[in-house]
Amino acid sequence: QLQLQESGPGLKKPSETLSLTCSVSSGSVNSRSYHWGWIRQPPGKGPEWIGSVYHHTGTTYYNPSLKSRVAMSVDASKNQFSLNLTSVTGADTAVYYCAKARSLVPSWFDPWGPGVLVTVSS
């Protein structure tokens, strides 16, 4: 059964770049059947979709509210995909999740990783 695991620093300072990685096991990031997403959830709030990447075509879709600061990529050699978010502020404090979705169409997510809490504070 495919599993996902997020990794990255738990604390960032304002204006820094947040970099997270999602490791995929029992499945391939190269699959034409899936795309890969990042979703975040500020404390006590609902989830917010950040963006999605489809490795087969290199296509990405980003949330317009974050588009100017977000980049996602896939490293097939490591079976991982990653998220970079620049110029972070306290509003970026959240639990960040990676998840699998259907091939590049708008889709539900299943499964999700356990999440990693990122706090932005000086």
List residues near other proteins by CB under 8 A.
37, 45-49, 52, 61, 63-65, 97, 99, 105-115
Nearest residue (CB) to other proteins, 15 versus 103: 103
Q: In whole angstroms, what is the distance from residue 20 CA to residue 9 CA?
A: 8
C-beta of 44 vs 122, nearer to other proteins: 44
Q: From the CB of 19, what's the least distance to other proteins, in Å?
A: 20
Q: Name the residue among 46, 45, 8, 47 with its Cα closest to residue 37.
A: 47
Query: Based on CB atoms, which residue is closest to other proteins, 34 or 115?
Result: 115
Closest separation in Å from C-beta 13 to other proteins: 26
Cα 100 to Cα 37, 88, 90, 91: the distances in Å are: 6, 25, 27, 25
Q: Whole-number minimum distance, CB 49 to other proteins, in Å?
A: 4
CB of 11 to other proteins, least distance (A): 19
* CA–CA gap between residue 31 and residue 44 (Å, rounded): 34
C-alpha torsion sign, points 33, 47, 63, 51: negative
